[in-house]
Amino acid sequence: ARKGVLDADMAQQSREVAFDMFDDTMDLIKRYEADIPDSSWVDIPDADIDDYQEMFRQNRIQLRDGVDSAGNSVNKVYDGDMLTLMRRVRCRQDGSGSECTASDRE
């Protein structure tokens, strides 16, 4: 939760509930994914993955800062602390992405 929305005890309880539900939730997601026809999946060529990752990174930053690439206001829907945590998790898995090396990383 965003800072100040939940007290410390409730925030911790929320994290524990989410953690306890993780495996069951992943199983559910995998079951639903199995129902998606192969023809519906989009295969991104390896040569394009870096560009897609950078595009998604820029989108996350825009949704954190509330300003799109054209300077227009957009809703701030991402919390900077959450983005930093998620970036650290992703970069621990694969440190080669632009989000791990960019000077304006989340």
Would 105 be classed as within a structural domain?
no
Residues 81, 58 share a domain: yes
| Site of tokens 């007290």 | 7
Phi, psi at 73, each rounded to 5°:
-75, 135
What pTM was estimated for this model as a whole? 0.69
Residues 55, 13 share a domain: no
pLDDT of residue 24: 96
Tokens of 100: 């791990």
Q: Which residues pair with 73 in a beta bridge?
A: 67
Which pLDDT tens digits describe the chain residue by residue (106 residues)? 567 788 889 989 998 999 999 999 999 999 999 999 999 999 999 999 999 999 999 999 999 999 999 999 999 999 999 999 999 999 999 898 888 988 887 8
pLDDT of residue 1: 59
pLDDT of residue 89: 92
DSSP assignments along 56-95, one per residue: HHHHHHHHHHTB-TTS-B----S-HHHHHHHHHHHHHH-T
Residues 54, 14 share a domain: no
Phi, psi at 67, each rounded to 5°:
-140, 130
